[in-house]
Amino acid sequence: MIIIYFLIFAVRFSHQREKIREIVYNTNSHPTADKIFLEAKKSIPKISLGTVYRNLKQLEISGEIKTIYDDNIARYDWNTEPHNHLKCKNCGDLIDIVLKDKSIHPKIKKDFKFNVDKVEMFIIGTCKKHAKQT
Amino acid sequence: MIIIYFLIFAVRFSHQREKIREIVYNTNSHPTADKIFLEAKKSIPKISLGTVYRNLKQLEISGEIKTIYDDNIARYDWNTEPHNHLKCKNCGDLIDIVLKDKSIHPKIKKDFKFNVDKVEMFIIGTCKKHAKQT
DNA sequence: TTTGCTGCAAATTCTTTGCACTGGG
DNA sequence: CCCAGTGCAAAGAATTTGCAGCAAA
């Protein structure tokens, strides 16, 4: 079974994929595909955007990274653990937070007969750098 | 002042906009621009997609509707009150829910020095129609 | 008459894909 | 040698925009 698995889904080493993984794993700002592309270009000048997208998709399928959607654009996150994001409406920064409170799950199951897998949360407001000084 | 306001932001009546507002206000399924376009076409055959997008944007700015982003596509919601959505991963349906619990706000303010305006939540799981029967 | 709104099509933006070639195993 | 992965460019999908004509007020 394992042999068949590798025969069908053989994944080869590639410098491009390594670089892309490295970029995502060394960035906390949840970069977009374009940001990753521009960064990768610095060391692999001929890399193409198509390659970036293909590898990001593959890394997501293999569970190494996670895609999050900020309004209409995909951003990539090395943190695949369940967590949520604070979004500052002034600077656009996404800040990771972990909310351990799962008290909502049974409530929703009870009220809506809905089985909760995960909660994706964007908490919008102003971060400490951009809070209005009154 | 009020006169100047109207001079600058004069908004005229338009059959197209009325129809679009009517469609959004009579649908609970959070339709996409394309769905609204197809629906509007039934009574205004010459309406264009550009008009639909322009009017949806205008209705959002005037606070009459709200845009929600479901992964990569915009959906439009007549319900502009703070509320959240359950998304069934099987059928893709979005179900409105209102969570009154604001206990998270002071916690985030304290822990992250982040002022919370609103919490946008997608709760992903399976709705009662699509729950696996074990 | 004035100018906001429309239809249409072209343009943009983000993402995916077809294809011939390259390179890892 | 085989075929996964690549660069490139073209195609797609969703959304925006320029423009000339239409139509509210």
**Token representation of residue B20:** 């679009």
Nearest Cα to A35, choosing from A16, A49, A14? A49
Q: Choose among B88, B113, B116: nearest Cβ to A123.
A: B116
What is the pLDDT, as a whole number, of residue A8? 53
What's phi and psi for A131, nearest 5 deg? Answer: -65, 135
- CB–CB of A89 and B118 under 8 A? no
Q: CB of B50 under 7 A from strand D? A: yes
Q: Which domains does chain B have, with CATH numbers?
A: 2-77 (1.10.10.10), 84-125 (3.30.1490)
pLDDT tens-digit series, residues A17-72: 999 999 999 999 999 999 999 999 999 999 999 999 999 999 999 999 999 999 88
For residue B25, pLDDT beyond 80 = yes
| Residue among B114, B128, B130 with most chain A CBs within 10 A, to mutate | B114
Please provide the distance, in angstroms rounded to a whole number, between the alpha carbons at the two ends of chain A.
65
What is the pLDDT, as a whole number, of residue B9? 62
Chains A and B form CB pairs within 8 A to the count of: 99
Model confidence pTM above 0.85: yes
What is the pLDDT, as a whole number, of residue B96? 94
Q: How many CA atoms lie within 13 A of A1 on its CB side?
A: 0
Beta-sheet strand order (sheet of A94-97): A94-97, A84-88, A115-126, B115-126, B84-88, B94-97
CB B94 within 8 A of CB B70: yes
Residues of B with CB under 8 A from a CB of A: 69, 71-72, 74, 86, 88-89, 95, 97, 99, 101, 104, 108, 111-128, 131
- CA–C1' B34–D14 (A): 9
What is the pLDDT, as a whole number, of residue A37? 98
**Token representation of residue A113:** 């007969």
Q: CB of B74 under 7 A from strand D? A: yes
- CB–CB of B120 and A116 under 8 A? no
